[in-house]
Structure 1
Amino acid sequence: MSLKIFVGTYNVNKREIDQDLSSWLFPTNSSITDKPDIIVVGFQEFSSFPSAFFSNSSYLSNASLSSNITQLGNASLSGGLIKHNVDEERLEHYSSLIERVIFANTRESYTTLVKSTFVGLALFIYVRDKSVTKWILNVEIAKCGVGPFWIGNKGGVGVRIVINANAIGVQETEGEDGTDNTSELVLCFVCAHLAPHSHNTYQRNQDFKSICERLVFSNIMYSENTNRDSAQEQQEDCEIMMTSMEGDSAPLLPSHNSKHQHYFTIYDSDFLFFFGDLNYRIELKEQGGFNNNNTLTISSLLDILRARQHQRIRACDQLAKEIIDGRVLHGFEEGELNFMPTYKYYVGSVNEFDVRQRTPGWCDRIFYYWRKRDELQGDPGGTAERSSPILLINYMSHPSYTLSDHKPVSALFVITPQHKRTDIKSGISNSPFKIDEHRNLKFAIGEASSIIVGCLWWLFGTGRGVRTTLIIGCVGFLVLWIVKKLT
């Protein structure tokens, strides 16, 4: 059995969408008419400043779109769930927009599995009840900030979903000790926002490395009694876990029969999707192979873009060069960039680029990775049969959305889980980077720094805050004057 997965990403420039999302989430030229089994929607610059610095909320739910969303762990620090629900209205507004579009285009029941915000990032995941919901064994959310002092204005939000693969047609495998292992299909989705500005290529590479090192899941696996007739029975017999911090987890549902605990990186997945505003730009300097002219200036770039000849400058994409040189997104694949750069547009414009202060680029991207079988990993010469279990159906941008200086991007995948699969062994990771042992401390520092920056921004960067500061200052001065007079 195959699973259809839709992934969408949009940097909304701290603005609130108020238009139909159908042409983005359900592209009309899709070659597959069946409904997606999993719908993943990520946003960057989701909340306006300074409220974004207080935004860190996550929800797990087994409720269908026709039911009320269950809110879990409101401000429960002891349970490992940290909530700062400052921008609650925006979260509900966006989720309502997405859910209306899903229902209007599918007329089927979907479960709102995850809604999560982290400073400027937001991630929504919906799963189709008919094909996925009742087979979910485990869900976790992890977050990390890679901004200054590890603040989450740049960073990543990841969700790790474990599905009973036997239920969707993957055969059981036999372990080394001769026992049967229930096959588990592990999906991971990471919504990221990396360092800005054209000259910051190295920092963007470091941001990706930091996300790999610190976006870690602490997973307790469950594998039995999952073939149920309803989502309610599934909820009673399986545990859905959430990692709100990095490495700390708390059960949201009653646990049973825990097997063993590991720490997993984003790479320790059967299928991994990494997407968002990665911020790599078009390089404005010597580029060998760029027509007969080795120099690309901002003026010539603008002429090429206005003529819609963006294929001519594909070689000037910073990210493509970094991947070829092995400095970022190790092992990932991407579809053809058969669309215009997604940044930087005049707000309100369909195709007019604003090059006054920023260099355009294919900033908004969707990458995918699949864990190769052991015999393929040990076969660099390519003698073993290689067949990709993931098919990219379409990969496109959507210029008609003019709310932001970015354009949204979408991709539709079909995955066919491999029948031969070896479980991840304890202490062995597929990640090219080691887990950061200080990730929890860095996250705590980032959280504290975020709150401090948010408070200072509110006090000195907003009209209401400045008035409050002036009032407090005047009252304090008056009190000091009175005390001095009386003494």
Structure 2
Amino acid sequence: MSLNIFLTTWNTGLQGSKAQSQDLTSWLLPVLHKTATDPELPSGQIPDIYAIAVQELLPVHLALAGLSGPVLLALTDRIQSLLTSHATSISPEKTKERYHLVSRVSHGGNALWVFARERTTNGRLGKPMTATLGLFYGGMGNKGAVGVRLPVQRGEKAGWETLTFVCTHLEAHDHNLPRRNAQYQSILSSLIFRASDPLATPYQPYETSHLFLLGDLNYRLVRLPSGVYPREAQQEDDDLQLEKERFEMVELDTLRIEQREGRAFGGLREGDLSRFAPTYKRIVGQVDGYSRKRIPGYTDRILFASHSDPPHLFSPQATLSPQPPPSSGETTAIRHFSSTPELTLSDHKPVHAVIELPPATHSAPAPHLAPVLAPPPSPHGPIPPPTPYEVLLAWKVMGTVLDRLVGWPWCLLVVLGWGDSRAGLGVGAFVAMVWGVWWTGLWSGGWSA
């Protein structure tokens, strides 16, 4: 049987401090409605799996202090209820649907939820694994990645495959392009999935049948084409002119360029970015419009790869130009790909996609025998080897210590009224951050006599 996966990612712009009183339907309902009314999708199609990725779930000081637990619990219940209600409402028979939480993982401001539809996945899911990684200096978590690895039985008695979902937030600012590429390589080498059984084999992200990478990757445009800022489509727009403007922007997207040059994201593909305007840096409170302080960019991305992907999808031209979905049944297909400009709470716009995995044509009898992704095509180099466990453990311990050394004093100073509780600015926050940077340099050997 085919498997339909709904993927969505949003950088909430530090709205997590209001998460328990914030109406989550302001994000997910418009996304779900837009997908349900897409004429290109079969009527009443209900996803089998939802993967929901969030960045900047909490203000930085709260995230570094490790205070995400209450927010995660509140959001989990609300998301589960919303998905169940929506699926029931669009069910052709109006029969009761139910989603259950497969896995939830968070680190710093990154959070990832995976939910499964009980009617189609009950008894077919293996035990999930999770992984976390701090990507900022010294292993701190204000930039990082989290992941879920999920075995799924695709056939009646066999046909096992593994799905790996990764939510990440990479380095910001235009000049940090090489650092973003390096952080992606760190995800491949250091986001390791380990089972509770010490004898079980650990897995890197690429050792999977299907890989889904979601998040605020922070890749911008090289420049504004013709000096014109992007815009949302209006009813009176010339469709051909808008298509030309969007295509020029996609050609200037630094992620696609880095991918074409073989420096990052080898073997991953995505939907047609020209279907919507760049998602960053938007003006909070407005459907349209961009801040003049940043070069716009398609920072919020959903990329994926499948073990059955044919080589022609990764030619140099295919990584730069918008890719049409492959023919039905050939391999994993993009059935819906869009953004949600109507959401104005953040300076980012959410992105979502519906991906269809065709029926399995193999008979892998167990998850550890499932097919895996092919190596990234030329000009990409090989996947980096896994980081040794001892090194990774030390990195995580150091990152956690540094997070708390910055986060807890920062929180205390905010409580005392020093600084902006949302953005974490002000004298007190600055003092705490300087303290943390000093410790980062000390622990990582960055200071020398």
Quick check: TM above 0.5?
Answer: yes
Residue 38 in structure 1 maps to residue 56 in structure 2: no
Which of 20, 23, 35 lines up with 1:18 in the alignment? 23
Give the match for residue 343 of structure 2.
401
Q: CA deviation at 1:22?
A: 1.4
Give the match for residue 68 of structure 2.
87
Alignment of 1:69-468 (within 5 A): 86-107=67-88, 108-167=97-156, 182-219=158-195, 249=196, 261-284=200-223, 296=225, 300-302=227-229, 309-337=245-273, 338-356=275-293, 358-372=294-308, 388-420=330-362, 432-437=383-388, 438-464=391-417
Verify the 8 A CA contact 1:264 1:429 in the aligned structure 2: no
Structure 2 Cα separation of the partners of residues 371 and 456 of structure 1: 47
Verify the 8 A CA contact 2:231 2:277 in the aligned structure 1: no
Structure 1 Cα separation of the partners of residues 79 and 251 of structure 2: 35
Verify the 8 A CA contact 2:209 2:370 in the aligned structure 1: no
CA gap of 1:148–1:388, structure 2 versus 1, over 3 A, is farther
Structure 2 Cα separation of the partners of residues 407 and 388 of structure 1: 31
> AA paired with 1:456?
P
Structure 2 Cα separation of the partners of residues 45 and 116 of structure 1: 14
Verify the 8 A CA contact 1:304 1:310 in the aligned structure 2: no
**For 1:25, what is the secondary structure of its paired residue?**
helix
Structure 1 Cα separation of the partners of residues 7 and 53 of structure 2: 8
**For 2:228, what is the secondary structure of its paired residue?**
helix
What are the Cα deviations for residues 427-477 of structure 1, in whole angstroms up to 9, with x where unaligned? x995711101122221111111111111232244553579xx9xxxxxxxx
User: Which structure: greater helix fraction?
Assistant: 2
> AA paired with 2:257?
K
- Identical-pair percentage: 27
CA gap of 1:302–1:165, structure 2 versus 1, over 3 A, is closer
Q: How well do the aligned residues superpose, as a CA RMSD in angstroms? A: 3.0
> AA paired with 1:105?
H
Q: Which segment drifts farther, 1-10 or 113-122?
A: 113-122
Q: CA deviation at 1:202?
A: 0.7
Which of 35, 45, 60 lines up with 1:49 in the alignment? 60
**For 2:354, what is the secondary structure of its paired residue?**
strand
Structure 2 Cα separation of the partners of residues 440 and 25 of structure 1: 39
Structure 2 Cα separation of the partners of residues 370 and 14 of structure 1: 33
Give the match for residue 5 of structure 1.
5
**For 2:5, what is the secondary structure of its paired residue?**
strand
Structure 1 Cα separation of the partners of residues 230 and 68 of structure 2: 41
Structure 2 Cα separation of the partners of residues 361 and 421 of structure 1: 42
What are the Cα deviations for residues 40-97 of structure 1, in whole angstroms up to 9, with x where unaligned? 1010000113110133xxxxxxxxxxxxxxxxxxxxxxxxxxxxxx233322332233
Structure with max Cα Rg = 1
**For 1:261, what is the secondary structure of its paired residue?**
coil
Verify the 8 A CA contact 1:351 1:399 in the aligned structure 2: yes
For normalisation by structure 2, the TM-score amounts to 0.75
For normalisation by structure 1, the TM-score amounts to 0.69
Q: CA deviation at 1:302?
A: 1.8
Verify the 8 A CA contact 1:185 1:417 in the aligned structure 2: no
What are the Cα deviations for residues 101-148 of structure 1, in whole angstroms up to 9, with x where unaligned? 212211201111222221101111110111113211220110101111
Consecutive unaligned residues in structure 1, runs of 5 or more: 56-85, 173-181, 220-248, 252-259, 286-295, 470-487
Verify the 8 A CA contact 1:109 1:128 in the aligned structure 2: yes
Q: CA deviation at 1:321?
A: 0.2
Verify the 8 A CA contact 1:142 1:159 in the aligned structure 2: yes
Verify the 8 A CA contact 1:265 1:429 in the aligned structure 2: no
**For 1:137, what is the secondary structure of its paired residue?**
coil
